[in-house]
Amino acid sequence: MNDIVTVIRSVPLEHYVFLSFTLFSIGLAGALFRRNTIIILMCLELMFNSVNLLLAAFSAHHGDPGGQVFVFFIMLVAAAEVTVGLAILVMMKRNVDSIDINQLNRLKW
């Protein structure tokens, strides 16, 4: 199993950073500009995972398992967040018969 660390280390750190940055930017752009709530949730997951990737990469390169522990925490929180998010989504669909994020502007005071 030691090999995974070796495999990860075989790719230079810069590549991970670039890949993460790209993934994160795609996620962010999607979250900002899409109106479909399901897509936005997926974009959020994308951002989480880009960060997870970066954490795992740094963890391997520095030989510090702390980073990987963090990854597990983030996965856990993300799962919880998605649960809540999808529940809201279902309620939204039932009440306004739409999953357009801009429909939610009627919630404001």
Instruction: Name the one range near other proteins by CB under 8 A: 6-14, 16-24, 26-34, 78-86.
Output: 26-34
Decide if 4 contacts 68 (C-beta within 8 A): no
Q: How many residues bind other proteins (CB under 8 A)?
A: 13
Shortest approach of other proteins to residue 8 CB, angstroms? 27
Spell out the residues 6+ positions from residue 13 whose beta carbon is closer than 8 angstroms to its own. 57, 58, 61
Give the number of other Cβ atoms within 10 Å of residue 67's Cβ: 17
- Residue 37's Cβ-count burial label (10 Å; 0-12, 13-18, 19+) is buried
Is 82 an interacting residue with respect to other proteins (CB under 8 A)? no
Q: Which of 10, 32, 95, 97 binds other proteins (CB under 8 A)?
A: 32
Work out whether 28 is an interface residue with other proteins (CB under 8 A): yes
Residue ranges that bind other proteins, judged by CB under 8 A: 28, 31-33, 35, 101-102, 104-109
